[in-house]
Chain A
């Protein structure tokens, strides 16, 4: 099996000014940079279409960058893709298990692709099947696995060859809540054992729960990169009050900003967003104003100190939009 030549001077992965423009001049990624120290778990958080999958494609040698570099263990993925791939464990967004093989064979053959002998691959596969609670299904065809089991097998396959970095593209999308929690635990355990992990997600709670550092990505750019706590400290100092004002005049924002002190008010479509340090005093004032102006409102919500409010503060929109 592959015994990575660890170069402790280098971070596990270093991404520098990465740009990808597809033919037809759609720029999916516009100058992304980050580096991940060994043993840490990083998250790329952003809505669909933010450029997460394209970034992962470039990291995993499947997409050739238009400019910029990615190095894994100090190895450039474009110049030496074969060497770089030996240090990568990848869990793609869709189920890519080998349907012609059994659960156990999916692991043993993967190990052999990475240079393990049959014997070593079998031992490692059995160990992983046990660890990922798939032992009873070892001989089953992969088509018979539930979504959660298939996802666990994909992670087991990705760590089969002891990669320097495990990359997971939206690993819990489409999983039921229980399988999701089980997968989180697996990732925490792997990380506790020293595995460097990079995952992408569009779930705030997932990023908050798992990641030591989060890069918030939108429109092909990283808007902020820090620990969840630091992100909340710097961007979510203010609470966000948002409400839906169907049919209200756009001039309303101006009117309200005069009557509500110390606030920043945005009005996009029918969505009014008010940032304030203290929503407790502001809320009754806001409601009173709206009632006085005979404006009806729906879906009033207050978000405070969450990654959601960080995202809102950075992009001016909700992640779920």
Chain B
């Protein structure tokens, strides 16, 4: 193909093609390591669902006390583990590789020299993170339905699910980009201690956010956690009869955090590669 910078329309399509090639590069790497991908995607959700929704009811420590409450718990847990798997992908598929590529290996340099603006290279990272998050959501959704000891009662609201999961996926990619550009390589351990653990433990995974009414300060404090909006949205989309955050709050939170993290991530990316 022939292109010159003096023909902006061709240049735009060329940007899209280059960004797509950068995404294809990440997917190529993913395919060549698909076993590792599956293991890292399902290990945490399987353990959560297995211990809380299989082991606990079997040994009589079921959350909720009676069979109906246990079923309700297993059902609400589905949204939580799908949410966790989406947000974790952002860190595993975008942040951790970026920290490495920026520092020890400087592998990112060849992609930074691709003939597109820097934001294009950063956007490609978000897209490939989002695609991996979607794939993870699919795998974990299947897993979380089959493991629990009690039956799961899902009622899918498709318009909600089909809008919330993609927004959650790009939000996860943007979160990964922001973290990957901010955290220096010597402090990778902090990603787990300061970001991932609090996010998942306080991300309305095991309980609906509305039930935090009993601890008002916590109920408001956890709103800085983007996972809250993902899980509340998924709960609204997958279950009935379980309380959830109002949908306006869910979408505002998801889109707001996505735009904020996108801005932080692209700015951080530029700062890391241009001096």
Contacts and interface: CB of A to CB of B under 8 A. Distances in A.
Contacts of A75: 5
Contacts of A92: 106, 109
A64 B3 contact: no
Interface string B77-90: 00000000000000
B114 interface: yes
Contacts of B274: 61-64
B164 to A, nearest CB: 31
Interface-centre pick from B21, B111, B116 (highest chain A CB count, 10 A): B21
A113 B28 CA distance: 14
Contact of A115 (B28, B107, B115): B115
Interface in A86-117: 86, 88, 90, 92, 94, 96-101, 105, 109-110, 112-115, 117
A124 B110 CA distance: 18
Interface stretch (B11-19, B68-76, B129-137, B150-158): B11-19
A57 B18 CA distance: 22
A96 B2 contact: no
Interface stretch (A1-9, A170-178, A266-274, A292-300): A1-9
Given A82-B11, A96-B105, A110 B110 contact: yes
Given A80-B5, A113-B21, A57 B275 contact: yes
Contacts of B273: 62
B6 A99 contact: no
B24 interface: yes
Nearest to B2: A3
A49 interface: no
Given A1-B1, A82-B15, A109 B113 contact: no
A267 B29 CA distance: 60
Nearest to B7: A5
Given A5-B4, A83-B5, A86-B115, A99 B107 contact: yes
Contacts of B113: 60-62, 85, 88, 90
Interface residues on B, range: 35 or more
B262 to A, nearest CB: 20
Contacts of A57: 275
A82 B117 contact: yes
Interface string A38-77: 0000000000000000000100111110000000000100
A94 B114 CA distance: 18
B11 A81 contact: no
B115 A100 contact: no
A201 B117 CA distance: 29
Given A92-B106, A96-B108, 16 more contacts: A60-B113, A63-B275, A81-B117, A83-B115, A86-B115, A90-B113, A98-B25, A98-B107, A99-B105, A100-B29, A101-B28, A101-B29, A113-B110, A113-B114, A114-B115, A115-B115
19 contacts: A57-B275, A61-B113, A62-B274, A63-B274, A82-B11, A82-B116, A83-B11, A85-B114, A85-B115, A97-B110, A99-B105, A99-B107, A100-B107, A112-B18, A112-B24, A113-B18, A113-B111, A115-B3, A157-B110
Going nearest first, the 5 A-B pairs with the smallest beta carbon separation are: A83-B5, A86-B115, A113-B114, A112-B21, A5-B4
